[in-house]
Structure 1
Amino acid sequence: MRASRKRSAKRLAQVAALAAAGVLSFTACGSDPTTGGGSGNAAEPGGSTSGSASGASLACPSGKLNAEGSTAQANAITQAISAYGSACSNKATVEYNATGSGDGIKNFTGGLVDFAGSDAALDEDEAKAAEKRCEGNPAWNLPMVAGPVALVYNLDGVDKLVLTPKVSSEIFTGKIKKWNDKQIADLNSGVKLPDEDITVFFRSDESGTTQNVETFLKEAGEGAWTKEPSKSWGGVGEGKNKSSGIAQGISQTKNSISYVEWSYAKNSKLSMAQLDNGNGPVELTAENVGKAVGGAEVVGEGNDLKLQLKYSDTEAGAYPLLLVTYEIVCSKGLDADKTKLEKDFLSYMASPETQTSLEQLGYAPLPEELQGKVSDAVDAIS
């Protein structure tokens, strides 16, 4: 396991170097990616991913799958869909609509889509609704895409900003109102902070990214964030729709701060805060994500692979604000033909080849041990 983490960190460091050179390809600035296209002849995002490496083990059934949810994984699943189509000679169509985790789960439990993407595992009520949708069988949370969340800001003349979970919590709850507040100034010696009000933006749609950020603030914020983590924002500020709305709001508004997935922050060239979780400031880089991504613990039972991410007491140099996107699936109860296609596609997405290919889009590959558990769970869908 330790060797796996070192290999992941090394690969991610190489990705970071490419990103710095401007090689990586992301979606258009200020808009969510177009993810509704099937697995036909669409160009592969990022310009790579052969699909042939694991194609020999694919069954490549025909048919169509519809999925919906997380915007955080949109670039990743778009690339996987395109590559899977190429590997299977476009025999099937897989469509993904990036509407946000909340809508994805609602439409999955309502029977409108075949599986959902969510940046948080199902809660108790959602799990009950999903079981009913799955004809009395449990739904499983299958972690598939891992990536960091950036705290993004727009401050003239401030190229480096350090925040702690506690100070971030007090900004997001409105306790700290000015950029030159002593608590921020003490973390940023020598930085000229403006005597201006802080403008906070948050996701107005239900979002697993929001829930992960709130969990981070709750667990690492030394009591400054008191509300229970939720897909709906519990702090102050002005709501913006989806990740694209956050990126646009920060880009256009001086003295603002918010949270957004790394790919959106990079694509919009937003300034990103360094986080000090007790072991010194940590910049959001691929290498630093690689130090943290292997620290998640499986807390679900059996093939329900719900994870417990480590937000506090992280090792030195590990970037602590991460999220994992789950594919929410019926363990049983889906149409037989759709089940065949779902298992084939998700097996492909969980494969080492596909996981490695997603690094170029700013995601961290699942640790090898977790990849194996996900693959076994996909095989167990019936």
Structure 2
Amino acid sequence: MNFKRNAAVFGAVAVGAMTLAACGSDNNSASSGTSVNSAASTATCEGKDSLSAAGSSAQKNAMDNFVATYISVCKDKGTDVKIAYNPTGSGDGRTQFIAKQVDFAGSDSAIKGDQAVAAKERCAGNDAWNLPLVFGPVAIAYNLDGVDTLTLNGEVIAKIFSGGITKWNDPAIAALNDGVALPDEAITPIVRSDSSGTTDNFQQYLTVASNGAWTKGAGSDFVGGVGEGAKGSAGVSQAVAGAPGSITYVEKSFADQNNLSVAQIDSGAGAVELTDESAAKAIEGATFKSEAVGDMTLNLDSIFGTKEAGAYPIVLATYEIVCSKGYDADTSAAVKSFLTSAANEGQDGLAEQGYVGLPGTVQDKLNASIAAIG
């Protein structure tokens, strides 16, 4: 999953910049336009001056923003810092975290099962916590000449992506779009050909929101059995842009970049357009598997299955995986300071990157959990 990919990514840079290992380089530092009220920041900039992390590519641009902001905050406090984030994918990030190769990991899904057990050993016998720091909406993007406004629901989307609905003027679509002239045209679903957190979360959404119409299950590989494959978020969005009658699931930023039409979603309380505000409303209603301070693994059904008016339900969360305790003192202080900055002033400007800033309810709980890291 990737909310927004740039053609260039980070290479090694000097002190006070962010390092990312990938195919190319593009320096990003606090001088890139980040303006921060450092005096208002509660980040201490204490602990070791260099942190390392790896994992979810979905977080790449958000991390750019977090790091540039943190550099600016700490520079104003008289401290030079370095943060290295390598967007190698969620699975690799979790593996590196368990192996003590990085200080924290970014992941599209919470660490669990055998990996959680191994992470507990890495954390000196203490639990690893999943802290949701980055949220981004997924668009149902389509290419249908003459149809600028389209409403779908979970059941219809599930049938489209499993072959149960094959024409745009199908009665089930028409029932959601009174007065819209739908063409007698074949629907071409475009799906991810590569393993993807976006696919996994999309299929989890269908499992929750389709009233039983989606029976295929979830997972990082598309299991609907229909459609044409394209690689990556860029691939599916470009494929839809060039194929009349097609539809896909893709991060909002890619739909915007390719000028794709985006369907409204009706979860039972009326059609909802995908906006920052409607996505944030779904996040505000999110619940967690535990309400205690600490681990913040989300109950995704509370987002995907929302019935709240004005809430857009297809919103993905990515986590930072950290040790609850077990770091040395310098690492603990640095991790807490960086995440404090990221959870607060680091959220500014995320909308321009295709993300949704943290609602206050989530932000408050996240700040308490970060403060509790030992």
Q: Same fold, TM exceeding 0.5?
A: yes
Aligned residue type for 1:179:
W
Does the 8 Å contact 1:36/1:95 carry over to 2? no
Shift of 1:77: 1.8
**Cα distance change of structure 1 residues 43 and 112 upon mapping to structure 2, 3 Å threshold:** closer
Matched, 1:304 2:295: yes
Shift of 1:326: 1.2
Give the Cα separation in 1 of the matches to 2:196 and 2:333: 31
Residue correspondence of structure 1 range 346-361 to structure 2 within 5 A: 346-351=339-344, 353-361=345-353
- Aligned with 2:215 (options 215, 220, 226): 226
Secondary structure at 2:235 match in 1? helix
- Aligned with 1:179 (options 168, 192, 198): 168
Q: Which moved more, 1:32-41 or 1:99-108?
A: 32-41
What's the TM-score once normalised by structure 1's chain length? 0.81
CA distances 1:127-176 after superposition (whole Å, capped 9, x unpaired):
22322333432110111122221111223333222111001111122222
Matched, 1:58 2:33: no
Residue correspondence of structure 1 range 32-47 to structure 2 within 5 A: 34=9, 39-40=16-17, 42-43=28-29, 47=33
CA distances 1:209-248 after superposition (whole Å, capped 9, x unpaired):
3332222211110001124433333323444444333333
Shift of 1:305: 0.9
Give the Cα separation in 2 of the matches to 1:126 and 1:253: 41
Matched, 1:81 2:67: yes
Give the Cα separation in 1 of the matches to 2:255 and 2:39: 31
**Cα distance change of structure 1 residues 67 and 244 upon mapping to structure 2, 3 Å threshold:** farther
Does the 8 Å contact 1:59/1:344 carry over to 2? yes
Residue correspondence of structure 1 range 58-207 to structure 2 within 5 A: 58-89=44-75, 91-189=80-178, 190-202=180-192, 204-207=194-197
Q: Which residue of 2 aligns with 1:267?
A: 257
Does the 8 Å contact 1:51/1:84 carry over to 2? no
- Aligned with 1:318 (options 311, 318, 335): 311
Q: Which residue of 1 aligns with 2:320?
A: 327
Aligned residue type for 1:304:
D
Does the 8 Å contact 2:240/2:248 carry over to 1? yes
**Cα distance change of structure 1 residues 116 and 57 upon mapping to structure 2, 3 Å threshold:** closer
Give the Cα separation in 1 of the matches to 2:31 and 2:352: 10
Q: Which residue of 2 aligns with 1:373?
A: 365
Aligned residue type for 2:295:
D
Residue correspondence of structure 1 range 4-19 to structure 2 within 5 A: none
Secondary structure at 1:68 match in 2? strand
Give the Cα separation in 2 of the matches to 1:235 and 1:46: 43
Shift of 1:360: 4.2
Aligned residue type for 2:63:
I
- Aligned with 1:294 (options 256, 272, 284): 284
Does the 8 Å contact 2:28/2:64 carry over to 1? no
Give the Cα separation in 2 of the matches to 1:46 and 1:270: 29
Does the 8 Å contact 2:30/2:72 carry over to 1? no
Residue correspondence of structure 1 range 272-287 to structure 2 within 5 A: 272-287=262-277
Task: Extract unaligned runs of 5+ from structure 1.
Answer: 1-25
Aligned residue type for 1:266:
D
Shift of 1:333: 3.4
Aligned-residue sequence identity (percent) comes to 42
Does the 8 Å contact 1:101/1:206 carry over to 2? no
Give the Cα separation in 2 of the matches to 1:239 and 1:66: 35
Shift of 1:67: 2.0
What's the TM-score once normalised by structure 2's chain length? 0.83
Shift of 1:87: 1.6
Q: Which moved more, 1:34-43 or 1:192-201?
A: 34-43
Aligned residue type for 1:280:
G
Give the Cα separation in 2 of the matches to 1:197 and 1:276: 20
Does the 8 Å contact 1:49/1:357 carry over to 2? no
Give the Cα separation in 2 of the matches to 1:163 and 1:32: 32
**Cα distance change of structure 1 residues 205 and 129 upon mapping to structure 2, 3 Å threshold:** farther
Q: Which moved more, 1:240-249 or 1:155-164?
A: 240-249
Does the 8 Å contact 2:54/2:105 carry over to 1? yes
**Cα distance change of structure 1 residues 256 and 129 upon mapping to structure 2, 3 Å threshold:** farther
Secondary structure at 1:88 match in 2? helix
Does the 8 Å contact 1:145/1:364 carry over to 2? yes
Give the Cα separation in 2 of the matches to 1:45 and 1:233: 41
Does the 8 Å contact 2:45/2:338 carry over to 1? no
